[in-house]
């Protein structure tokens, strides 16, 4: 992503609900639909959110997808089985209740996981997240280990031919060749997303590729959380504001 395209402006406008009319809506999960929790397992999806997303998806003739760093399997366990999903940062896809399209788990991911486990051993607050085709090293509970975790992830990525995916108090190792931008590009060529105007809502640095793709395809990104240089055109302050905006979207698309 060219840095020159990043907006340095701290104050982006709140998106108008009318932006969602005719939209193909791409939603990040952690930090966007659910507040950040202490651990990956600490996040719960409430029925109210699922009902809201279902209503909006129906109003958009199905053009709503969750695009997450979580695996499709985890997204389904969290309650999103009835939604179009792109998991593991654009490496996995699944239509509602249909088989998952995903590459196999690489032996290199198992090697990386073993190295992460060795690193985490005895370090209270450092956590290894085993995922379907990737692995995460979390240090939210022990920020003092963040730099060392990053050094380890970088070295392993080079050694094992994997991609490093930085996140919020997290480094993941995964196969390369995809990101949230490529997920948007791919889904926009298929039903039901094709024909809509892409709108991508996300909070993390990994969502910038999604904002870039939405923008390239004539749509827009919405950044959630504290201002930062971004390719998004709009911003929402926090998860609660996203929910409010999506509820406004249901009304605006009725």
Ligand X SMILES: O=P(O)(O)OC[C@H]1O[C@H](O[C@H]2O[C@H](CO)[C@@H](O)[C@H](O)[C@H]2O)[C@H](O)[C@@H](O)[C@@H]1O
Which residues form the interface with ligand X (CB under 6 A)?
28-31, 36-40, 43, 68-70, 129, 131, 136, 138, 140, 167-170, 172, 204, 206
Q: Which of 144, 166, 249, 84 is nearest to 92 (CA)?
A: 84
Cα 116 to chain center, whole Å? Answer: 22
Active site residue 28: yes
Looking at beta carbons only, is 55 or 68 nearer to ligand X?
68
CA-wise closest residue to 236 among 207, 196, 195: 207
State how far the Cα of 87 lies from the Cα of 69, in Å rounded to an integer. Answer: 6
What is the rounded CA–CA span in Å between residue 50 and residue 167?
A: 25
Sequence-separated (6 or more) residues with CB below 8 Å from residue 180: 26, 28, 67, 86, 89, 90, 200, 202, 206, 207, 209, 210, 213
Minimum CB separation of residue 207 from ligand X in Å reads 7
**Closest CB to ligand X among residues 30, 92:** 30
Q: Which is nearer to ligand X, 17 or 141 (CB)?
A: 141
Q: Which of 3, 11, 28, 61 is catalytic?
A: 28
40 vs 62, beta carbon nearer ligand X = 40
Quote the least distance from Cβ 18 to ligand X, whole Å: 26
What residue is closest to ligand X based on CB?
69
d(CA 122, CA 237): 37
Examine residue 252 and say whether the peptide bond preceding it is cis (omega within 30 degrees of 0): no
Of 213 and 253, the one with the shorter C-beta distance to ligand X is 213
Of the pair 80, 253, the CB lying nearest ligand X is at 80
Write the DSSP assignment of 6-20 as a string of letters. Answer: SB--S-PPPPPGGGG
Give CA–CA dist 18/224, Å, rounded: 18
Which residues contact residue 130 at a Cβ distance below 8 angstroms, ignoring those fewer than 6 apart?
113
* Cβ(34)–Cβ(46) below 8 Å: no
Closest distance between ligand X and the C-beta of residue 149, in Å?
12
Residue among 112, 68, 72 nearest 204 (CA): 68
Q: Which residues are catalytic?
A: 28
């Amino acid at each position: 992503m060219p840095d020159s395209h990043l907006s340095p402006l701290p104050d982006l406008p709140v998106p108008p609900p009318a932006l969602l009319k005719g939209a193909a809506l791409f939603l990040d999960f952690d930090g966007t639909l659910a507040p950040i929790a202490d651990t990956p397992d600490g996040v719960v999806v409430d029925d109210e959110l699922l009902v809201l997303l279902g209503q909006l998806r129906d109003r958009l003739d199905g053009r709503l997808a969750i695009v997450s760093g979580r695996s499709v399997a985890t997204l389904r366990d969290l309650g999103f089985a009835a939604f179009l999903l792109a998991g593991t940062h654009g490496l996995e896809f699944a239509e509602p209740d249909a088989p998952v399209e995903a590459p196999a788990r690489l032996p290199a991911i198992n090697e990386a996981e073993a190295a992460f486990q060795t690193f985490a051993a005895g370090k209270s607050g450092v956590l290894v997240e085993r995922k379907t085709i990737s692995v995460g090293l979390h240090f939210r509970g022990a920020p003092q280990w963040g730099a060392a975790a990053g050094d380890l992830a970088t070295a392993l990525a080079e050694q094992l031919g994997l991609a490093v995916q930085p996140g919020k108090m997290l480094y993941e190792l995964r196969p390369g060749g995809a990101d949230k931008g490529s997920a948007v590009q791919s889904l926009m060529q298929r039903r039901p997303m094709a024909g809509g105007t892409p709108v991508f809502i996300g909070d993390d640095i990994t969502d910038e590729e999604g904002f870039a793709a939405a923008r390239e395809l004539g749509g827009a990104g919405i950044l959630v959380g504290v201002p930062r240089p971004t390719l998004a055109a709009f911003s929402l302050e926090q998860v609660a504001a996203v929910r409010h905006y999506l509820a406004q979207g249901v009304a605006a698309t009725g």
